[in-house]
């Protein structure tokens, strides 16, 4: 698979080819994605895994670190 190289700042990045060069298996995968039925997925509750501490908690930790 050919890639295009582009310079971004001081880094060199490789950009994949456009979708027009998709293979037959890529097109088959896209067909599966397009006919996927989202309604069959089970519902879940969104939860923050690692919430940031409150302002008060941060102040308490700051004070504990000074003593």
Q: Is residue 24 part of a domain?
A: yes
pLDDT value at residue 67: 66
Other C-beta atoms lying within 10 Å of the C-beta of residue 48: 6
Residue 25 belongs to a domain: yes
Share the mean pLDDT of the chain.
77
Mean pLDDT within 57-63: 90
> Domain for residue 9, yes or no?
yes
Start-end of H helices in 1-67:
24-34, 55-66
Instruction: Supply the pLDDT for residue 6.
Output: 56
Residue 26 sits in which domain range? 1-35
In a domain, 44, yes or no: no
Q: Any idea which residue has 């298996």 for tokens?
A: 25
Asked whether residue 46 is domain-assigned, the answer is no
Looking at residue 59, what is its pLDDT? 92
Residue 50 is predicted with a pLDDT of 82
Residue 36 has pLDDT above 80, yes or no: yes
Q: Is 51 inside a domain boundary?
A: no
**Cβ neighbours of residue 4 under 8 Å, at least 6 residues apart?**
14, 15, 17
């Amino acid at each position: 698979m050919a890639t295009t190289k582009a310079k971004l700042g001081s880094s060199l990045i490789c950009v994949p080819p456009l979708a027009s060069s998709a293979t037959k298996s890529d097109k088959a995968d896209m067909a599966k994605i397009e006919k996927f039925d989202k309604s069959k997925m089970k519902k879940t509750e969104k939860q923050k895994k690692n919430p940031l501490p409150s302002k008060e908690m941060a102040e308490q930790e700051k004070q504990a670190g000074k003593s």
